Structure 1
Amino acid sequence: MTTALTLVPGPGDEGDRILTVTGEIDMSNAAEFGSALDRELAAGAAVTVDLTAVTYLDSAGVAVLFDRADAHDLRLVAPRLLGRVLQVSGLTRVAKVTIR
């Protein structure tokens, strides 16, 4: 059973935005995740996506991040659980990634 996806937007420091994500990101909710991320990218110069409470990230979720990383200042904060996925996928080369 998939853990529900929760997306909580908020202001960051110096005009940037934070999108805090909880649960699982997969093909069933990747479009919802992408829409929330697009809203935050439109609202601020930079967006930090806090993935520390994400327990699963499949290729659909990785694609959402990749699709936006080249054109935007996207920063990812991820748990060790997702660190290897982000590294192997190449996201660490196109976005700033912090592993916690």
Structure 2
Amino acid sequence: MATPLTLVASERSDGTPVLAVTGEIDMSNAGDLDDALTRSAADGPLLVDLSQVGYLDSAGLTVLFTHASNIRLIANPLITPVLTISGLSELTTIEGNPSDPS
């Protein structure tokens, strides 16, 4: 069973807008992610926290590519290779999960 997608917009203490994404990103919900990125990045660069994403398909990648010039990503070790192989890492900054001890 797929883990539902949850999108939570917030702000870091330094004022950086953050969109925390949890669950699985696929063609059934990529439009929701696109809408959230469009809204959240309207005022400037956005940090997208994908550290709690367990699955990312091509529809989700397409959305991230569309917004690559306005986002930075935090990714977990599970999806980092997908972001790198796809070439997204050449278009935007991808940071490791700061809560991951490895």
Q: Do the structures match in fold with TM over 0.5?
A: yes
**Residue in 2 that maps onto 1:23:** 23
Q: Which residue of 1 aligns with 2:33?
A: 33
- Whether the 8 Å CA contact 1:15–1:45 is kept in 2: the answer is no
Per the TM alignment, residue 14 of structure 1 is displaced from its structure 2 partner at its CA by 4.3
Contact 1:16 1:45 in 2 (8 A): no
Deviation string 1:8-62 (CA, Å, 9 cap, x unpaired) is: 00113544310000000000000001101111011x3210000000000000000
Is the aligned partner of 1:7 residue 2:41?
A: no
State the partner residue of 2:80.
Answer: 83
Question: Aligned pair in 2 of structure 1 residues 13, 94: CA closer, same or farther (>3 Å)?
Answer: farther
Runs of 5+ consecutive residues of structure 1 not aligned to the other structure: none
Count of aligned pairs: 97
* Cα distance in 1 for residues equivalent to 2:96 and 2:32: 24
Helix, strand or coil at the partner of 2:32? helix
- The alignment yields a C-alpha RMSD, in angstroms, of 1.2
The TM-score normalised by the length of structure 2 is 0.89
Determine the structure 2 residue equivalent to 1:57: 56
Tell me, which stretches of 5 or more residues in structure 2 are unaligned? 98-102
Q: Between Structure 1 and Structure 2, which shows a larger proportion of helix residues?
A: 1
